[in-house]
Amino acid sequence: MAKATIIFEDIDVTVTAPAGTRLIEISEKVGSGIVYGCREGECGTCITKVTEGWNNLTEPSVLEDKILRENMAGKHNRLACQAQVLGGVIKVKPV
Amino acid sequence: MSKLPQLTISGIAQAVELSERVHWIGAMDPSLRNFDIILKTANGTTYNAYLVRGSEGVAIVDTVKENFSNDFFERLESVASYDEIKVIVLNHLEPDHTGALPELMRRAPQARVYISQKAQSMLKALLKQDEFDFTSVLTGDKVSLGDRTLEFFHTPYLHWPDTQCTYLQEEQTLFSGDVFGCHFCDARLFNDEVGDFRFSFEYYYAHIMRPFKDYVNKALDLLEPLALINILPAHGPLLRDQPKKYVQRYRELSSSVLQSEIGAGEKTLLIFYISSYGNTRRMALAIYEGAMEIEHVRVSLYDLEGSEVAPFVDLIEGADGIVFGTPTINGDAVKPVWDLLSSLAVINLKTKVGGVFGSYGWTGEGVKMVEDRLRGLKLRVPIPGIRIKLIPTEEEIESCREFGQHLAQELLGLRQPRVIDMADLA
């Protein structure tokens, strides 16, 4: 199975995880500082900065885009509870 | 004896003149004893709303809680007609300030709503409609009423993301929303006339603004340079006597009370524990010893049974890292731990490092539960907690020492980058 390498910059932890895993599953297990609210893509609490490998995540859905816009999220921000890793290297950190 | 403002005439609520162009059109709620579940008030509150008259139209600044709408509209009607209203400013969208908004928008459909940029989604949720006109504003934006000008200052997280203050330039008057407010109801209205409200002012700050001290300081950077004749908050007395003193008090309350003896580059780690048979205590001592081996980290150890909660909250506010030791009893962490953890919402914990440990008899869920709570409070929990079944062995005590060392190193940014395979994580 394809694997992705996810680097959590705030805690200096690198994790390899199967493609399709959501960022939330990985970050909670390793104790990154990304904070979660509803965990369903509605509250915007888990907005996360993707500093590298933006294209190695699934595309944001229409609903995720809407929540990011409403929360005035910056460029290359994603909801960690929605974004799934696809492969390659992805660097993230809490906003 | 103080002269009471005339709040009603023949049973009709009347506006109170603050200046030739500014009126108070809010409402009194003297029987309220509990506000938003978390705040008590011994003599109610006020929902302050204001009307500003310019040569080219009228502005309404904030409204009132919905069931006080009649008082608000009667007071508004006593000094203006709805067709004169050009501007509606909402400094903060909580329902106690926007309860009368839908009806006001119906009565004055020509008026334009001015809100902070972060208030847009809240306004939509409040009005339950997606399409309506409003202007979102940022610090420095202005709206003219002819010979009167309102200038906006975005003051986020005082105490919601949306909050802003609005400054009436020509009268050096700040409509401050919840900032500088308090729950205190007194028909004499003005701070130099009402009863002693110092306690209410401080209590309100401690429960509403304290979690956002960093944001308070940023907002004060914006507001302190303003010339101020009046501060007109959304709750409590209107601050016309020495308004700058209240600004100064906010600065004091948002600064560290007493700097600890921590040198530059040093970090502080607090270890809290509670123990029924001494096992969690033995773990605490080992973690304490381990952390103390790392230079430049000041470590403190506290037994939760030895103090009330409030002093610990103060300590945690100033610490870089906090560790909790709890036994698991009946499948849960124990109450003194939860009591402290449920008291931390009034302080900012973001960027602090957390850790958890504990002894258990059967399953040891308490450690994981407290870790989840720490993450929920926005702490980083970079090192998995330690659970030890009943009495720790010498080897397990050594792992506690290492846990303390690693936490201390984490605070100093000294830990080596780690590489983990997801499959290896439980």
Is residue B168 located within the same domain as residue B199?
yes
**Rounded distance between C-alpha atoms, residue B27 and residue B63, angstroms:** 9
- Nearest Cα of chain A lies from the Cα of B378 at a distance, in angstroms, of 6
**Rounded distance between C-alpha atoms, residue B192 and residue B210, angstroms:** 26
- Nearest Cα of chain B lies from the Cα of A85 at a distance, in angstroms, of 13
Q: What is the pLDDT of residue B380?
A: 85
Degrees, nearest 5: CA angle B370-B377-B206: 120
* Mean pLDDT of all residues in A12-37: 89
Q: By residue range, what is the domain housing residue A7? A: 3-94
Q: Which residues pair with B16 in a beta bridge?
A: B24
**Rounded distance between C-alpha atoms, residue B329 and residue B331, angstroms:** 5
**Rounded distance between C-alpha atoms, residue B96 and residue B233, angstroms:** 13
From chain A, the residues in CB contact with B383 under 8 A are 31
Q: Which residues pair with B17 in a beta bridge?
A: B23
Q: Of A12, A14, A36, which has the smallest distance from its Cβ to B415's Cβ?
A: A12
CA distances to B232, B260, B396 from B203, in Å: 18, 24, 45
B382 in contact with A, Cβ within 8 Å: yes
Q: What is the tally of structural domains in chain B?
A: 2
In the three-class reduction of DSSP (H, G, I as helix; E, B as strand; rest coil), residue B259 is classed as: coil
- Nearest Cα of chain A lies from the Cα of B421 at a distance, in angstroms, of 5
B368 in contact with A, Cβ within 8 Å: no
Is residue B12 located within the same domain as residue B158?
yes
User: A with B: how many residue pairs have Cβ under 8 Å apart?
Assistant: 56
Is residue B408 located within the same domain as residue B274?
yes
Is residue B12 located within the same domain as residue B131?
yes
- Strand locations in B172-236 (E): 173-177, 230-233
Q: Which residues pair with B272 in a beta bridge?
A: B302, B324
CATH number at residue B287: 3.40.50.360
Q: Which residues pair with B111 in a beta bridge?
A: none
CATH number at residue B55: 3.60.15.10
| Alpha-carbon B233 to chain mean position | 16
Per the omega criterion (within 30 degrees of 0), is the bond before B159 cis? Answer: yes
B415 in contact with A, Cβ within 8 Å: yes
Single residue among B253, B286, B318 that ends a domain in this structure: B253
Residue B345 corresponds to which tokens in the numbers above? 């919402």
Single residue among B253, B279, B307 that ends a domain in this structure: B253
Q: What is the pLDDT of residue B426?
A: 57
Per-residue pLDDT of B391-409, as tens digits, reads 999 999 999 999 999 999 9
Per-residue pLDDT of B305-319, as tens digits, reads 998 898 899 899 989
Instruction: Judge residue A74's burial from the number of C-beta atoms within 10 Å of its C-beta, 0-12 exposed, 13-18 middle, 19 or more buried.
Output: exposed
From chain B, the residues in CB contact with A17 under 8 A are 422
Q: What is the pLDDT of residue B2?
A: 56
pLDDT band at B257 (very low <50, low <70, confident <90, very high): low
- Comparing A24-28, B187-191, B273-277, B289-293, which segment has the lowest mean pLDDT? A24-28
* Mean pLDDT of all residues in A71-79: 90
Q: What is the tally of structural domains in chain A?
A: 1
Q: Tell me B164's DSSP state.
A: E
Q: Do A36 and B375 touch (CB under 8 A)?
A: yes
From chain B, the residues in CB contact with A91 under 8 A are none
Name the residue of chain A whose CA is nearest to B421's CA. Answer: A16
Per-residue pLDDT of B205-224, as tens digits, reads 999 999 899 899 999 999 99
Residues 6+ apart with CB under 8 A from A7: A13, A14, A15, A52, A89, A90, A91, A92
Residue B274 resides in a domain = yes
State the residue for tokens 């893509």: A41
In the three-class reduction of DSSP (H, G, I as helix; E, B as strand; rest coil), residue B151 is classed as: strand
Per-residue pLDDT of B139-160, as tens digits, reads 999 999 999 999 999 999 999 8
Q: What is the pLDDT of residue B308?
A: 87
Residue in A3, A8, A11 to test binding to B, most B beta-carbons within 10 Å: A11
Residue B258 resides in a domain = no
Q: By residue range, what is the domain housing residue B121? A: 8-253
Is residue B229 located within the same domain as residue B365?
no
* Mean pLDDT of all residues in A28-56: 89
Is residue B210 located within the same domain as residue B293?
no
Is residue B183 located within the same domain as residue B133?
yes
Residues 6+ apart with CB under 8 A from B13: B7, B27, B70, B71, B72, B74, B75, B78
B380 in contact with A, Cβ within 8 Å: yes
Single residue among B253, B280, B301 that ends a domain in this structure: B253
Q: Do A33 and B351 touch (CB under 8 A)?
A: yes
CATH number at residue A38: 3.10.20.30
Q: Of A13, A28, A70, which has the smallest distance from its Cβ to B420's Cβ?
A: A13
B409 in contact with A, Cβ within 8 Å: no
CA-based nearest residue to B230, from B201, B196, B191, B178: B191
Is residue B102 located within the same domain as residue B154?
yes
Is residue B132 located within the same domain as residue B162?
yes
Name the residue of chain A whose CA is nearest to B372's CA. Answer: A28
Is residue B287 located within the same domain as residue B314?
yes
From chain A, the residues in CB contact with B425 under 8 A are 15, 29-30
**Rounded distance between C-alpha atoms, residue B4 and residue B194, angstroms:** 10
CA-based nearest residue to B290, from B260, B315, B262, B269: B269
Residue B231 resides in a domain = yes
- Comparing B68-77, B126-135, B383-392, which segment has the lowest mean pLDDT? B126-135
Residue B2 resides in a domain = no
B348 in contact with A, Cβ within 8 Å: no
Residue in B157, B373, B375, B412 to test binding to A, most A beta-carbons within 10 Å: B375
From chain B, the residues in CB contact with A29 under 8 A are 422, 425
From chain B, the residues in CB contact with A35 under 8 A are 375-376, 378
Is residue B247 located within the same domain as residue B292?
no
Residue B152 resides in a domain = yes
**Rounded distance between C-alpha atoms, residue A23 and residue A29, angstroms:** 10
- Nearest Cα of chain B lies from the Cα of A59 at a distance, in angstroms, of 22
Q: What is the pLDDT of residue B130?
A: 65
Residue B327 resides in a domain = yes
Residue B3 pLDDT greater than 70, yes or no = no
Q: What is the pLDDT of residue B142?
A: 97
